[in-house]
């Protein structure tokens, strides 16, 4: 038995044969062409065909993984029309008398290298998208079909990397799990894998002769086991059965209340980042959406999403939740979430820099466009708004002035909107310490324990070297949580937790003792959390 360690992208246990995804030989030969204009026309026809393919992929992804994740295929369409990209290919054909396949390949390599050299993580991740676009053009020009799984039996799919378009096109019924040699946990492929519920591990240095061998994928630990011995295989098969049984038992909790044996009731909501995640939250019987990460609308576009684009997404979320509470966090970028088109300057310490509400209060046009979209959508459901990274009373008062302006503008224009609760995230020690003052200004608190722990402990949570020092159970963090809960209740407002700590089942009892009114977790954790709550005396 051979054990290979990788990095988990999505949990689960899978057992079955490995199939290495056999891609076509990507070597493109350079050919001399006499009629360059005919070659340009051939390229343009291939571009039109590629756009049609991407439109079909977008529609397919929309139904399978939701609008936010499907948006990558819109980005690919835009890349095909990018004038720098187009001019590079057509100029190469005309000036060097080369075939369109070769021009597309060289352009793809050049643009991909350019993106890979950028400092911004998001822009570096676009290098794979450029390659995907150029390879699509080459396949069409050369008359090649799509890559896919060879047989009809479900397999553990192994690949060097998987482009978003490849992931969506694969027949999910034939995939037990996938493992890739490259890729990142923040790539579109990783996001799609999580949404499609496919156990996945990246950074796996699998041997080339593993094709056809039996393997065990442990998506929880990120480990792959090739040629497992009978005893280990029996153990993992039993563990897999236990996981399935646990999920089935949890289903019996659907429709039941989140109430302790002593009668204490707690709202259990879900954290989501897309419309498809909202559907998953409903399937897991979440009582509402405690955190809708609106920044994903910005991260997955190459332009500022318009008010109308945002309105359509927020409206769809509100309607899908059918009256259940939907708490939407305003734009929260900066720190580890960078967006190229925002053109933000490099910062030595972005976690303490230009981010979240600071950007919104500085770039009022972006902020007001989002608020208008949110208020308009509130007419179609139970939408609440919360503002991230607050540190002062003055910030909250300024936010209230701007939101009042937006409501006034909508009212003057005859546009209806609902009665919207407005709250703030408690993510900084400053906000926690003055939470008694802040509570007088808002309708609710939602505690973001990820950043609150980071700032309280002075530990960068993105730095793996500090994992041994990072203690989210630190008494200082827990004391701040209790302080915030007490101050919220003194002012007559409710308080919840939407950070990762909310899903820490070892702390559920402590959170209830503190008086937390709501816990918001990933959709998959809703029922496990309900189970713990119902067992508490």
Higher pLDDT, 349 or 432: 432
Higher pLDDT, 195 or 308: 308
The side-by-side arrangement of strands in the sheet containing 200-202 is 2-5, 223-226, 214-218, 13-20, 155-159, 175-180, 200-202, 7-10
Backbone angle region of 12, left / alpha / beta, with phi > 0 → left and psi within -120 to 50 → alpha? left
Asked if the structure places residue 252 within a domain, the reply is: no
User: Residue 254's closest CA among 523, 518, 458, 536?
Assistant: 523
The encoded tokens of residue 77 equal: 């369409």
**Residues β-bridged to residue 421:** 384
User: Residue 207's closest CA among 232, 226, 183, 182?
Assistant: 226
Please report how many Cα atoms fall inside a 13 Å half-sphere around the Cα of residue 414, on the Cβ side: 0
Residue 63: partners with Cβ closer than 8 Å, 6 or more residues away: none
User: Residue 338's closest CA among 357, 354, 358?
Assistant: 354
Give the Cβ contact number of residue 468 at 10 Å. Answer: 7
8-state DSSP, 259: B
Q: Tell me which of 86, 113, 142 is where a domain ends.
A: 142
Higher pLDDT, 377 or 347: 377
SS (H, E, C) 331-392: CCCECCECCHHHCCCCCCCHHHCCCCHHHHHHCHHHHHHHHHHHHHHHHHCEEEEEECCCCC
Residue burial 236-247, b: 16+ Cβ < 10 Å; e: rest: beeebeeeeeee
pTM of the predicted model as reported, rounded to 2 decimal places: 0.65
What is the gyration radius of the CA atoms in the chain, in angstroms?
A: 25
Helix axis angle for 36-65 and 121-142, nearest 10°, is: 120
Total domains present in the chain = 3
Helix axis angle for 100-116 and 83-96, nearest 10°, is: 140
Asked if the structure places residue 27 within a domain, the reply is: no
Write down the pLDDT at residue 435. Answer: 98
Asked if 82 and 16 sit in the same domain, the reply is: no
Asked if 214 and 103 sit in the same domain, the reply is: no
The whole-angstrom separation of Cα 281 and Cα 520 is 11
8-state DSSP, 499: S
Instruction: Provide the residue range defining the domain that includes 70.
Output: 36-142
Give the Cβ contact number of residue 28 at 10 Å. Answer: 21
Asked if the structure places residue 254 within a domain, the reply is: no
How confident is the model over 440-463, as a mean pLDDT? 90
How confident is the model over 430-457, as a mean pLDDT? 96
Asked if 9 and 48 sit in the same domain, the reply is: no
Asked if 183 and 153 sit in the same domain, the reply is: yes
Asked if the structure places residue 221 within a domain, the reply is: yes
The CATH number of residue 384's host domain is: 3.20.20.60
Asked if 217 and 270 sit in the same domain, the reply is: no
Q: Tell me which of 86, 117, 142 is where a domain ends.
A: 142
Asked if the structure places residue 240 within a domain, the reply is: no
Asked if the structure places residue 239 within a domain, the reply is: no
Q: How far apart are the first and last CA of the chain?
A: 46
How would residue 186 be classed by pLDDT, with cut points 50, 70 and 90? very low
Asked if 348 and 399 sit in the same domain, the reply is: yes
Write down the pLDDT at residue 377. Answer: 96
Active site residues: 188, 498
Asked if the structure places residue 242 within a domain, the reply is: no
The encoded tokens of residue 269 equal: 């909501």
The whole-angstrom separation of Cα 188 and Cα 164 is 6
Answer whether residue 188 shows pLDDT above 60.
no
How would residue 464 be classed by pLDDT, with cut points 50, 70 and 90? low
The encoded tokens of residue 380 equal: 């179609």
The CATH number of residue 190's host domain is: 3.50.30.10
The CATH number of residue 45's host domain is: 1.10.274.10
Asked if the structure places residue 510 within a domain, the reply is: yes
Write down the pLDDT at residue 368. Answer: 95
Write down the pLDDT at residue 440. Answer: 97
Asked if 166 and 105 sit in the same domain, the reply is: no
Asked if 73 and 50 sit in the same domain, the reply is: yes
Asked if 226 and 278 sit in the same domain, the reply is: no
Q: Which of 65-79, 143-157, 167-181, 272-286 has the highest mean pLDDT?
A: 272-286
Asked if 121 and 161 sit in the same domain, the reply is: no
Asked if 15 and 50 sit in the same domain, the reply is: no
Q: Tell me which of 122, 142, 162 is where a domain ends.
A: 142
Asked if 296 and 382 sit in the same domain, the reply is: yes
CA distances to 91, 170, 256, 263, 521 from 259, in Å: 68, 42, 9, 6, 17
The whole-angstrom separation of Cα 471 and Cα 206 is 34
Tell me how many helices (H) and strands (E) the chain has. Answer: 20, 16
């Amino acid at each position: 038995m051979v054990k290979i360690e990788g990095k988990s992208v999505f949990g689960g246990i899978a057992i079955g044969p490995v199939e290495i995804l056999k891609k076509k030989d990507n070597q493109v030969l350079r050919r001399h062409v006499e009629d360059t204009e005919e070659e340009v026309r051939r390229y343009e026809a291939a571009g039109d065909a590629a756009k049609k393919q991407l439109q079909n992929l977008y529609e397919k992804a929309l139904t399978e993984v939701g609008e936010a994740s499907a948006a990558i295929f819109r980005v690919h369409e835009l890349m095909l029309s990018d004038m720098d990209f187009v001019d590079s290919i057509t100029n190469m054909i005309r000036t060097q008398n080369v075939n369109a396949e070769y021009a597309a390949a060289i352009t793809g390599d050049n643009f991909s290298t350019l993106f890979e050299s950028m400092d911004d993580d998001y822009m570096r991740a676009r290098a794979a998208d450029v390659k995907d676009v150029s390879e699509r053009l080459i396949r069409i020009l050369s008359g090649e079909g799509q890559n896919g799984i060879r047989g009809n039996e479900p397999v553990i799919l192994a690949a060097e990397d998987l482009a978003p378009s490849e992931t969506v096109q694969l027949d999910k019924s034939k995939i037990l799990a996938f493992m890739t040699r490259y890729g990142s946990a923040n790539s579109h492929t990783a996001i799609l894998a999580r949404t499609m519920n496919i156990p996945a591990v990246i950074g796996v240095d699998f041997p080339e002769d593993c094709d056809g061998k039996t393997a065990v994928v442990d998506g929880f630990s990120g480990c792959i086991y090739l040629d497992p011995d009978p005893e280990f295989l029996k153990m993992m098969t039993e563990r897999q059965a236990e996981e399935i049984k646990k999920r089935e038992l949890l289903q019996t909790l659907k429709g039941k209340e989140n109430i302790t044996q002593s009668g204490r009731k707690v709202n259990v909501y879900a954290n989501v980042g897309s419309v498809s995640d909202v559907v998953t939250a409903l399937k897991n019987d979440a009582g509402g959406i405690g955190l809708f990460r609106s920044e994903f609308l910005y991260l997955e576009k190459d332009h500022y999403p318009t008010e109308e684009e945002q309105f359509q997404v927020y409206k769809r979320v509100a309607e899908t939740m059918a009256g259940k509470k939907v708490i939407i966090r305003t734009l929260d970028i900066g720190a580890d979430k960078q967006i190229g088109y925002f053109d933000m300057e490099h910062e030595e310490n972005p976690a303490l820099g230009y981010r979240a509400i600071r950007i919104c209060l500085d770039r009022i046009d972006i902020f007001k466009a989002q608020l208008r979209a949110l208020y308009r959508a509130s007419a179609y459901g139970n939408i609440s708004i919360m503002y991230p990274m607050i540190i002062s009373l003055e910030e909250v008062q300024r936010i209230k002035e701007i939101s009042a302006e937006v409501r006034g503008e909508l009212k003057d224009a005859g546009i209806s909107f609902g009665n919207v609760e407005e709250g703030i995230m408690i993510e900084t020690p400053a906000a926690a310490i003055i939470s008694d003052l802040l509570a007088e200004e808002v309708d609710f608190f939602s505690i973001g324990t990820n950043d609150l722990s980071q700032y309280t402990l002075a530990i960068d949570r993105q730095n793996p070297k500090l994992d041994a020092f990072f203690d989210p159970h630190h008494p200082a963090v827990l004391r701040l949580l209790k302080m915030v809960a007490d101050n919220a209740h003194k002012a007559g407002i409710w308080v919840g937790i939407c950070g990762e700590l909310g899903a820490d089942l070892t702390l559920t009892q402590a959170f209830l003792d503190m008086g937390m009114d709501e816990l918001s977790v990933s959709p998959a954790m809703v029922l496990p959390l309900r189970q713990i709550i119902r067992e508490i005396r």
